Amino acid sequence: MTKPQLLIDTDPGVDDALAILMAHAHADIAALSVAAGNVGLDHTVRNACTLRDLLDASFPVYAGCATPLVRAPEEDAAFVHGADGLGDVGFPEPQAVAEPEAAALALLRLSRERPGELTLVALAPLTNLALALKLDPTLPQRVKRLVVMGGAVTGHGNTGKIPAEFNVGFDPEAAHVVFEAFPRFDLVDWEATLRHGFDDGEFDAWLAAGDARAKFFGRVFRTARDYNAEHDRRGVVAADALAMAVAIDPSIVTRSETRAVAVELDGRLTRGATVVDWANRLRRPAQARIVLEVDHARFAAMVRKALGAA
């Protein structure tokens, strides 16, 4: 089987880091395009470069938008990922540097150079993708698949706007543009993430058995792990890792529902919510394959290998 070719839009980010380790272990990374989200763009770009150094890889890194399309965000996620986005470990300045081309332009160029080949994996607020779509609405025709980590499909979000998930809630207008433009995509939401955690002891055993990647992840993961423990999130939950598993191997999905999904752009309490037409009441085209369950053992095997603990 030929390896999937991945174009990864990301805001590293601790769970983004794990997802990128998985992509490197199981697929080919065509490029990382980087957005602001978990922390500011200067940090997320630097973290992407730190990850490239760790993997001794040569994929290009492109910096994207420093702010959402329209409104300034109300919150970032530094309280989970650390002020620098990678657990405040204090890594040295990376050797890798970002390319001069803007992320949205690089996404469009790569899709033209390799039409039908690339799976787009969106692990961040959707600002870069939305900008690319505004520049060239034909982008979806040239992408093999789109997998989005985002949303909370029954309103159990993870932000100050109760039903909103972070990636969609950080830039709702961008998510709206992307959800309207792609006729089909896989949606891996926050609620699926919570259903697919790993047992703490099992995960610690992988970290202990793994190589330099496990050592790295063990260090960057501490802040997020402490936050999760304090907030009653049991086990190891890694949203972007779950989305990456679906991007690498769609056959890992064991239960899904395909429905029309829209983004709430207003709403005093609900801006950024993903609204699913579960009963097809509006008869709109159902564009999102909502991932409900994946094969947990296969997901675990993918993560183990990415940590060098297989």
Q: Under the rule (CB under 6 A), what is the footprint of ligand BDR?
A: 13, 15-16, 38, 77, 123, 149, 158, 165-167, 190, 239-240
Cβ-based nearer residue to Ca ion, 84 or 240: 240
The beta strands (E) that lie in the chain are given as: 5-10, 28-34, 61-63, 118-122, 145-149, 185-188, 253-259, 261-263, 274-276, 288-294
Q: Residue with CB nearest ligand BDR?
A: 166
Rounded to the nearest 10 degrees, what angle do helices 14-26 and 41-55 cross at? 30
Of the pair 106, 126, the CB lying nearest Ca ion is at 126
190 contact, one of Ca ion, ligand BDR, none, CB 5-8 Å limit per kind: ligand BDR
Tell me how far, at minimum, the Cβ of 169 lies from ligand BDR, in Å. Answer: 8
Residue whose tokens read 């402490």: 226
**123 contributes a contact to Ca ion by CB under 5 A:** yes
For residue 121, list its beta bridge partners.
8, 147
Q: How near is the Cβ of 30 to ligand BDR at its closest, in Å?
A: 20
Give me the least distance between CB of 65 and Ca ion, in Å please.
15
Nearer to ligand BDR, 142 or 196 (CB): 196
* Tokens read off for 89: 């470990």
- Report how many helices (DSSP H) and strands (DSSP E) the chain contains, helices first: 14, 10
Binding part of the chain for Ca ion, among 24-32, 121-129, 257-265, 296-304 by CB under 5 A, reads 121-129
Q: Which two tokens stand for residue 4?
A: 């999937």
CB contact at 8 A, 225 and 129: no
Residues at the site binding Ca ion, with contacts judged by CB under 5 A: 11, 13, 16, 123-124, 240
